[in-house]
Amino acid sequence: MTLEEIIALDKKYYLNTFGDRLPVCFTRGEGMKLWDLDGKVYYDFLAGIAVNALGHSHPALVNAIVEQAQKFIHCSNYYYIESQAKLAQLIVENSCCDKVFFANSGAEANEGAIKLARLYYRKKGFPEKFEIITLEKSFHGRTLATLAATGQEKYQKNYCPLTPKFLSVPMNDIAALERAITEYTCAVMLEPIQGESGVNPANVDYIKQVRKLCDEKGILLIFDEVQCGLGRTGKMFAYEHFGVEPDIFTLAKALGGGFPIGALCAKEPVASAFEPGDHGSTFGGNPLACSAGYAALSTIINDRLYENSAVMGDYFIGQLNSLTEKYGIIKEVRGKGLMIGVELFQPKAVEVKLKCLESGYLIGSVGDNIIRMLPPLIVSKEDIDGFIGALDNIFEKL
């Protein structure tokens, strides 16, 4: 099919939740590269929004999916699943959690975290502790509960009334958080590095104070690491940057390397609040997803891709800062590892994104003023140099 035929088919039959998409359709990918219908090559600096951590068509991931699909794809969680048990073990042995539950997405993992926090206190004899405090500019998903947890009105306003008993406070304001805590609060839920609002890292001192406050008040600390976890920020988990450990954290995106899977990870004794019948999923933790997850996570760990993320992230940010000095369009470069946002003085983010597409580079935009880069963890200095050259040309014309 031609691109025009695909667009026409999409507009006729697909629910219009994405509006007019970028005018490109890809046919295959390898490493950092994607090829469109006409054979044009693009370098992927968005990685499916932080999903394709290994790049495209990584042999370890492809082989794991093919081998498992040839055996069988799905069976019920009524039965024991080898790849599910092995992936849970791999996460536990490389993180601070004790138990794992697998879902199909980050939103589902976050729903599970919300349920677990509320159930934990109910089973401890405190059914009135069910309020959850989140941060402004956060993003936790598009289900009704995770929308309520999300601290951005633009995602919420058309779906009210939302799931009750969520409230948001400003990031890096410990006094505001302390004022918001009541006898009904069961948890604080936050992204240590916010992604969807334009890459906003929390202050180290603030996160340490949040952990201390949660301990003092007897409430749980939940980290949403759906986007910032698994090597994205230069460490295996974002919580490692802050010298604290959450009681619960969630993963998704990079966990399957492109295959849908999410994970709810919890420490004991919180994890044990979930007992038979308290939570479940038909597809969550299926053999194919867990085989993909095991291959992707094993590769991140064994190839130490989190270290490449740290080194390449520092280099990338340094090169972007050199453009800041050269042009007056950049207000701020921020991020950690390969989770980078560039805020512009002018509302040119969408224009820059489109110009990058024309130049063969895929990036994201947040609102009118922020461009976002989330390249695969395999990105090289040469890849970054190529992108910086293209961006330099674009800024020069702007």
Q: Calculate the CA 353 to chain-centre distance.
A: 20
> Pick from 371, 350, 337, 52: which is nearest to 198 by CA?
371
> Pick from 317, 390, 379: which is nearest to 47 by CA?
379
Structure tokens at 41: 């090559």
Q: Residue 20 gets which letter from DSSP? A: S
Give the residues across from 247 on adjacent strands: none
pLDDT of 162: 87
Q: Calculate the CA 48 to chain-centre distance.
A: 10
Amino acid type, 67: E
pLDDT of 157: 87
**Cis omega before residue 161 (within 30°)?**
yes
Provide φ and ψ at 253, rounded to 5°. Answer: 30, -90
Catalytic residue among 102, 139, 242, 249: 139
pLDDT tens per residue across span 27-76: 999 999 999 999 999 999 999 999 999 999 999 999 999 999 999 999 99
The pTM (predicted TM-score) of the whole model is 0.96
Q: ∠ CA(36), CA(42), CA(48), 5° rounding?
A: 90
* CB-CB neighbours of 281 under 10 Å: 15
190, 270, 386 from 246: Cα distances, Å: 10, 11, 38
Max CA distance (Å), the chain: 64
> Pick from 238, 240, 222, 232: which is nearest to 110 by CA?
222
pLDDT of 374: 98
- Verify whether residue 126 is a known catalytic residue: no
* CB-CB neighbours of 367 under 10 Å: 12
In the chain, CATH 3.90.1150.10 sits at 3-57+304-397
Catalytic residue among 224, 249, 259, 355: 224
Structure tokens at 376: 């695969």
* CB-CB neighbours of 70 under 10 Å: 8
Catalytic residue among 129, 235, 253, 348: 253
Burial of residue 13 (CB within 10 Å: 0-12, 13-18, 19+) is: exposed
Q: Residue 127 gets which letter from DSSP? A: T
Q: Residue 50 gets which letter from DSSP? A: H
**Cis omega before residue 59 (within 30°)?**
no
pLDDT tens per residue across span 196-205: 999 999 999 9
* SS3 assignment, position 51: coil
80, 168, 181, 384 from 86: Cα distances, Å: 11, 37, 38, 35
Is residue 297 within 8 A of residue 125, CB to CB? The reply is no
In the chain, CATH 3.40.640.10 sits at 72-302
Report the alpha-carbon distance of residue 65 to residue 389 in Å, rounded. 36
List the end-to-end C-alpha distance of the chain, in Å, as a whole number. Answer: 35
pLDDT tens per residue across span 152-163: 988 998 898 888
- Verify whether residue 137 is a known catalytic residue: no
CATH class of 72-302: alpha beta
Which residues are CB-contacts of 312 (< 8 A; sequence separation ≥ 6)? Answer: 338, 379, 380, 381, 384
> How many CA atoms does the CB half-sphere of 77 hold within 13 Å?
16
Tell which CATH architecture fits domain 3-57+304-397.
Alpha-Beta Complex (3.90)
Q: Which single residue is written with the structure tokens 């495209």?
A: 56
Provide φ and ψ at 116, rounded to 5°. Answer: -65, -40
pLDDT of 163: 87
Q: Which single residue is written with the structure tokens 């976890």?
A: 229
Structure tokens at 157: 């306003």
Report the alpha-carbon distance of residue 304 to residue 292 in Å, rounded. 18
- Verify whether residue 12 is a known catalytic residue: no
pLDDT of 398: 85
Task: Flag residues of the chain having pLDDT under 50.
Answer: none
